[in-house]
Chain A
């Protein structure tokens, strides 16, 4: 039995029993209700849901199931081959090298304007520009169909110029290749951006963030200027907002066998310099994880109290506008990516 994970909905699929395939592109296209439902749930517009039919073992079009280069392939009765395997739950294409051991996923949470999307774009762009991880162990590879480097670089540039990027409704998947001792090993890192509409209520969390239950990492974004302000004012509302965010994350991973590792990312670090004395403190302690954690827990006691519900807690600081804070060679974004995915 081999199990593959759908990076779009997080489902683990047994390829021997549950594999479905989409017929080759020249087959008759019909509205795909299940794929349309996925698009509706994630609020994705501009994608065509009129697609060739889906078939699996037992379907009349199927002649046999074979394997080509280690990947299951379906042969139709007319002799056509297709290895376009799709997820039975959301009818999205299943990517290569996404067995459960190879996929690591991180979900980015945070309040409105906390810099979630900018952070995802910065991390992805860091991989594009550097090509190699900061410890030179991995090389990053992009699949244009799921993570277009040109689009990411463009959006990251917009962020650096002070623009506000649109939410990323599709996951951002980045492959990492390493020359391990026993041949090449490919890993797939997936980052999910969330938005306020995803976490309106309990149902919306379940509908729009089904992948969160299986994610190994949660990233909680707190803007540096808000942190600097709250540590001085000890504002009860800010603490309650942070607690609600923590409850959201706990709700999203309520059925996870192992709770995820929580990374608290202090975003918009460039704004800390403008925030006065407390901002200077953040700039001073941003490289010291322990000091930064203490600082965050002082400002938001609820985060400290609920952090025990996660497997582990880390803290870091990062800036999307000035990704090179921390030095060109070891940028904070690069360190965060390495800290998240290894």
Chain B
């Protein structure tokens, strides 16, 4: 995580799309005042292998070029053919456009993994929507999409389904990450030393949403994303596994164990991991008294109706469920991730599913705690 002092106080760039690492000076530049309708072979290859798209012939693309010698500009800008200055950069390996801050700030990869129906997309939508809204007030920092492409993807695939259509977002696991930028207000430097540890005032965070289907289709890409990860969010649908003592019943966990063994050997991964127990409330529903209470609250369709003491009790109950009813599951998670790097979060989300597939969704405002914990472990926000 240390700064890369060998390249003029810049960081190596990790392309969020192909995950290849390269030095800042190798980035290509885009001339947006000059375009071509030819597809670059690297980009065609990326589309074919990563996106399963055969051809996008006829699409207008900016002309990409390598910086010509010493043009008197720094590594983040170059002169175009017509003598204009451009700042837009692209990955030399896959020709995707890089975020503006790439190479200037530390880049982190956070992988959200879980079974196909473990509500990963619900988690991502809810967490990013809340952090986008609240981080400014709570931490004096902005946490926003790093480019317009991410803003569009997040809105169309995550935010709109959850907050407007009131359905559980079902964004496909994709190799295209959500690229978010954290920026602390008024910070002069991208990083600073606080005592013996570094604190990042600016950072790029690549968020990957990986499911088993994606891992089956693109094993190399999924494994690369997992291997590059600086943090994991491990999502489990507790209601699916309650009462089941055999962790092997879930093929996803088996697959993940095998992948981790291949990547990290026998030792557990030491990167911080938030184990989020989605729909943990469902396990508590077996208690009839609570079940009745929650139903009443849900029927009033307002999260304000959930009083805090009730959830404190509920939280205790969920913890008990995790420790008492799911020991095998808990143990399986801990064999994948070192105990001190793992923290369990009971993301208390409520789904009232209808026959037509829509759902009333209520969350209690704490779903983002797990992501904030990860950001603190990555030295981005205060512990």
Say yes or no: A306 contacts B144, CB within 8 Å.
Answer: yes
Give the contacting residue for A89; candidates B33, B136, B151, B152; CB below 8 A: B33
Stretch of A136-144, A175-183, A226-234, A240-248 contacting B (4+ beta carbons < 8 Å): A240-248
> Which of A68-101 touch B at CB < 8 Å?
88-90
Bound complex: CA A299 to CA B84 (Å): 41
> Which of B96-148 touch A at CB < 8 Å?
97, 100, 132-133, 136, 142, 144-145, 147-148
Stretch of A103-111, A145-153, A198-206, A278-286 contacting B (4+ beta carbons < 8 Å): A198-206
> Which of A199-256 touch B at CB < 8 Å?
201-203, 205-207, 210, 236-237, 240, 244, 247-248, 250-251, 254-255
Bound complex: CA A29 to CA B242 (Å): 79
Say yes or no: B185 contacts A254, CB within 8 Å.
Answer: no
Bound complex: CA A207 to CA B136 (Å): 32
**CB-defined interface of B183-223 with A at 8 Å, one 1/0 digit per residue?**
00100000000000000000000000000000000000000
Q: A202-B97, A207-B35, A247-B148 are in contact. Are A88 and B82 (CB under 8 A)?
A: yes
Say yes or no: B163 contacts A37, CB within 8 Å.
Answer: no
With a cutoff of 8 Å between Cβ atoms, the chain A residues found around residue B83 in the complex are 14, 17-18, 88
With a cutoff of 8 Å between Cβ atoms, the chain B residues found around residue A9 in the complex are 33
Q: What is the predominant secondary structure among interface residues of chain B facing chain A?
A: mixed
Say yes or no: A301 contacts B164, CB within 8 Å.
Answer: no
Say yes or no: A201 contacts B82, CB within 8 Å.
Answer: no
**Cβ-based interface call for A28 (8 A):** no
Say yes or no: B32 contacts A210, CB within 8 Å.
Answer: yes
B361 to chain A, nearest CB (A): 13
Say yes or no: A206 contacts B155, CB within 8 Å.
Answer: no
**Cβ-based interface call for A338 (8 A):** no
Residue of B nearest to A199 (CB): B148
**Cβ-based interface call for B75 (8 A):** no
**Cβ-based interface call for B281 (8 A):** no
A207 to chain B, nearest CB (A): 6
Bound complex: CA A259 to CA B72 (Å): 24
Say yes or no: B151 contacts A244, CB within 8 Å.
Answer: yes
With a cutoff of 8 Å between Cβ atoms, the chain A residues found around residue B132 in the complex are 305
**Cβ-based interface call for A309 (8 A):** yes
**Cβ-based interface call for A308 (8 A):** yes
A331 to chain B, nearest CB (A): 36
Give the contacting residue for B160; candidates A11, A207, A240, A247; CB below 8 A: A240
Bound complex: CA A309 to CA B185 (Å): 9
Residue of A nearest to B136 (CB): A305
**Cβ-based interface call for B311 (8 A):** no
Say yes or no: B145 contacts A247, CB within 8 Å.
Answer: yes
**Cβ-based interface call for B21 (8 A):** no
- Report, as a range, how many residues of chain A touch the other chain: 20 to 34
Residue of B nearest to A305 (CB): B136
Residue of A nearest to B87 (CB): A255
Say yes or no: A240 contacts B155, CB within 8 Å.
Answer: yes
Say yes or no: B185 contacts A210, CB within 8 Å.
Answer: no
**Cβ-based interface call for B159 (8 A):** yes
> Which of A295-311 touch B at CB < 8 Å?
301-302, 305-306, 308-309
**Cβ-based interface call for B60 (8 A):** yes
Say yes or no: A89 contacts B82, CB within 8 Å.
Answer: yes
Say yes or no: A237 contacts B164, CB within 8 Å.
Answer: yes
**CB-defined interface of B9-48 with A at 8 Å, one 1/0 digit per residue?**
0000000000000000000001011110000000000000
Bound complex: CA A225 to CA B183 (Å): 35
With a cutoff of 8 Å between Cβ atoms, the chain A residues found around residue B160 in the complex are 240
B143 to chain A, nearest CB (A): 10
Residue of A nearest to B35 (CB): A207
Most A CB contacts (10 A, CB to CB) among B97, B144, B148, B185 go to: B148
Bound complex: CA A203 to CA B145 (Å): 16
Say yes or no: A203 contacts B61, CB within 8 Å.
Answer: yes
With a cutoff of 8 Å between Cβ atoms, the chain A residues found around residue B61 in the complex are 203
**Cβ-based interface call for B93 (8 A):** no
Residue of B nearest to A202 (CB): B148
**Cβ-based interface call for B300 (8 A):** no
With a cutoff of 8 Å between Cβ atoms, the chain B residues found around residue A309 in the complex are 142
Bound complex: CA A142 to CA B307 (Å): 65
**Cβ-based interface call for B295 (8 A):** no
With a cutoff of 8 Å between Cβ atoms, the chain A residues found around residue B49 in the complex are none
A230 to chain B, nearest CB (A): 14
A87 to chain B, nearest CB (A): 9
Q: A206-B88, A237-B164, A244-B155 are in contact. Are A201 and B149 (CB under 8 A)?
A: yes
Bound complex: CA A306 to CA B143 (Å): 10
The 5 tightest CB contacts between A and B, nearest first, are A255-B87, A206-B32, A251-B148, A247-B151, A202-B148
Known: A201-B152, A205-B148. 14 other contacts (CB 8 A): A11-B84, A88-B83, A89-B80, A202-B97, A202-B148, A207-B62, A210-B32, A210-B33, A240-B163, A248-B148, A251-B147, A254-B147, A306-B142, A308-B136
A-B pairs with beta carbons under 8 Å apart, 27 shown: A9-B33, A11-B84, A18-B83, A37-B35, A88-B82, A88-B84, A89-B33, A201-B152, A202-B147, A202-B148, A210-B33, A236-B164, A240-B164, A247-B144, A247-B145, A247-B148, A248-B148, A251-B147, A251-B148, A251-B151, A254-B87, A255-B88, A301-B133, A302-B133, A305-B132, A306-B142, A309-B142
